[in-house]
Structure 1
Amino acid sequence: MPRVLRRIVALALGVAALLGPVSISVAAERVTIRIGYAGPAAEGGRFVSGPVGVIASERYIERAFADDPAVTVEWSFFKGAGPAVNEALASGQLDFAFMGDLPSLTARAAGLQTRILMATSPRDNLYLVARPDSGIAAIGDVRGRRVAQFRGTSTHLTTDRALSQHGIDARDIRFFNMDDATALAAIASGDVDAAFGKSILLRLVEQGLAKVAFSTKGDPATTASSHLLVAAAFEAAHPDLVAKLVRGTLKALAWSSREENREAVFAIWAKSGTPIDVFRADYEEQALAYRLSPLIDDLLVESYRYKAAQVKALGLVRRPVDVTGWFEPKYLNAALKDLGLEKAWIRYAADGKPRGNS
């Protein structure tokens, strides 16, 4: 073989030796992180109300992976709320999900393997709003009335607990299963007399089409809770990516929890299409840090234990739900320490009393 040809072959082999393994390695390390949210986004974008509105629209998670070009973040917003997210998780279409307590509990009962990484909205208020001419002025007045409720979502269990606390049997109410948009329209048209739900129902109050007959504001035990969870298989395969995602999410919650950002936070949430005055009314006399705490404290865990018993008692699941080992706070605790946020939120005891900072 001529000397020049031998040199060309040697050079080609050298380049192949250098580039070949690198190309294979890069291809093997590419990961798409698939995140689901239990609710629709405005105009097909990323604008939703609540803490995920800031996390998604301001791209906090994407920024957490800005130094890793091998990672792509992909969001999906589900009109079918929690049940639709569960289907996607079960079929392996999602790695992470922002969702509420009830659908997560029913999925756990069915054997879906997930880990709860942090709270995102642990103390959402429940409202009963009624048509002004309905004669419903308190929660006890709903007996025998037509009432909308979005069953299978996080407000379902909160409603049942509130009714129980006031000695009301849910079977004495004519419930209609409606999503939020349908319930709003049904009250406005008079097809139902009232509705149980979250702050979105305050839109009707702002418009003068309904009044608040009851709320759980001020009761830390009777609230709807939402969280961030991860598929157990993804966590086992990519604990480093889980840590980065939790860190990015925590930064968003830290910014959103500062009182000086109150109006800016509400303005971002209002891009979802919900008027900003709804958020002002919902959060009135409540600290942002109280409502948006990410902490896995005793109150949160006890709340899920109580709701686990509820879903079995209500016949929503066939098997008891064991929450032992479901919560995985190590990523959150590491991020709190790393970001200097250990005193940013107050921890609560199981009885709802403050225990102090983390």
Structure 2
Amino acid sequence: MKRRSFNTLLTSGLAAPALIGLSTGTARAQAGGKPTTIRIGFPGAGTGGRPLPTSGFTANVVFRGDLEQEFAAEGIKIEWKYYVGAGPALNEAYANGLLDFCFGHGDLPLIVGRSTGLKHKILLSSGRGGDVYFITPAASSAKSLSDLQGKTLSVQKGTAGQLTLYRFLDKYGFKEPEKQFRIISQIRDDRVAALSTGDVHGAIETPFGLEARGVAKRLAEIYDEPIINRPGSLWVGEAFEQKYPDLVQRIVNRVVKTAHWSTLEANRETQYQYWTRSGVNTYIDNKRVWDRTKDLRSRHNPLLDDYYTASIQRSIDEIKGYRLSRREVSLEGWIEPKYLNNALREQKLETYWPTQDATGKFVRT
């Protein structure tokens, strides 16, 4: 299997075939000064490039048709775009003028994009928390991660998953992952296929559906560790935000409303069924993973609290430490909380979600 460098990944191959619903930057303004289309990207797609999101309250916005309902009367179309090339491909699309919003950028591509000059404003967190599972082929004889030193691990490089893998390995004492393992870059479909044939010896994946099929088994797992799993981000392009602040507010209002809906226990099962449609995780994956979360507010959490900002800063530092980017990135002027604060106030949700301190400890439940 040919190894691909991080820089190559950002600018080539993986992005090119990965644009689902790609459109050109044609004129999009109505006579009344509003856009005809609002273009929203997800850094990922369903199995086989299926144009669907995978999980979380931002995915629920799609499945429920919330934004289509919001703008139907004005004739504004919502165009959803899904990128098999994940965060790096989404960065490329935005750089080429093909996106207005991103609904859930992971930390590594978010920060690398910012370091290359992409102009966007972070509006809210797209979710947080969750468990991390390291799996091997079902026939593997490995008993611990130490047994895999020098072996081939798979991750989609340039994505948040790369940093998650590095943190996971660091937790088990492996400080130089690229030297201690052979880490290759694959999209998820290819990674699962390689696990099934034994061409890859380990990866981070949701395990339950793969175990049921006899493809893989768990080797190690870390439960809900806030330093390992970092929050995602929902952002708007600066040009769109400056031109249409009223539309940005309406979108944030709707997203917060859906985030609240997503936290209600009565809606738990409906979400599992929504998320299964993408084919990435099976129903049993969604149920086994999310049933461990007793209070859905802790994961379906849009807040830009101390934990969120500290997490992004830690990721900035890690990216420099791993030499994934050498350019400076600052949080100053990047996060715009006013739209979220307005939505929380208008919906009387200012104290609804639990907050976490910089280390991830809950300070308000």
- What is the TM-score normalised by the length of structure 1? 0.86
Q: 2:347 and 2:185 mapped to 1: Cα distance? A: 43
**Which stretch of structure 1 is more off in the superposition, 251-260 or 183-192?**
251-260
- Give the distance between the partners of 1:117 and 1:189, measured in 2 at CA: 42
Shift of 1:254: 1.3
Find 1:336's aligned residue among 334, 339, 344.
344
Residue matched to 2:173:
167
For residue 29 of structure 1, the aligned residue among 33, 55, 80 is: 33
Q: Secondary structure at the match of 2:350?
A: coil
Partner of 2:286: 279
3-state SS of paired residue (2:297) = helix
SS at match of 2:128: strand
Q: Deviations over 1:303-351 (max 9, x none)?
A: 1101101111212112122122221111111111111222331010002
Counterpart Cα distance in 1 of 2:344 and 2:146: 43
Q: 1:189 and 1:224 mapped to 2: Cα distance?
A: 31
Instruction: Output the aligned Cα RMSD.
Output: 2.0
Q: Which residue of 2 aligns with 1:302?
A: 310
Question: 1:60 touches 1:251 (CA, 8 Å); kept in 2?
Answer: no
Does residue 106 (structure 1) correspond to residue 96 (structure 2)? The answer is no
**Alpha-carbon deviations, 1:220-256, whole Å to 9, x = none?**
1210432211111111111111000111111221111
1:225 corresponds to which of 218, 224, 231: 231
- Which of 193, 215, 221 does residue 209 from structure 1 map onto? 215
Q: Report how far residue 26 of structure 1 moved.
A: 5.9
The one-letter amino acid paired with 1:27 is A
Contact 1:114 1:326 survives alignment (8 Å): yes
* Structure 2 unaligned residues grouped into runs of 5+: 1-28
Contact between 1:155 and 1:224, CA under 8 Å: does it hold in 2?
A: no
Per-residue CA deviation, residues 56-88 of structure 1 (Å, 9 max, x unaligned), is 121112222244x15322111111111111011
Q: What is the rounded CA distance, in whole Å, between the counterparts of 2:122 and 2:30 in structure 1?
A: 30
2:259/2:302 contact within 8 Å kept = yes
- Aligned residues of 2:124 and 2:340 also touching (Cα < 8 A): yes
Q: Which residue is 1:76 aligned to?
A: 81
Contact 1:115 1:230 in 2 (8 A): yes
Of the structure 1 ranges 309-318 and 42-51, higher mean CA displacement relative to structure 2 is found in: 42-51
Identity of aligned residues (%): 32
Alignment of 1:1-358 (within 5 A): 27-31=31-35, 32-41=37-46, 47-51=52-56, 52-67=58-73, 69-98=74-103, 99-168=105-174, 169-170=176-177, 171-197=179-205, 199=206, 201-273=207-279, 274-286=281-293, 287-356=295-364
Query: 2:153–2:183: 8 Å Cα contact kept in structure 1?
Result: yes
Number of paired residues?
330
Give 1 or 2 for the bigger CA radius of gyration.
1
**Secondary structure of 1:294's aligned partner:** coil
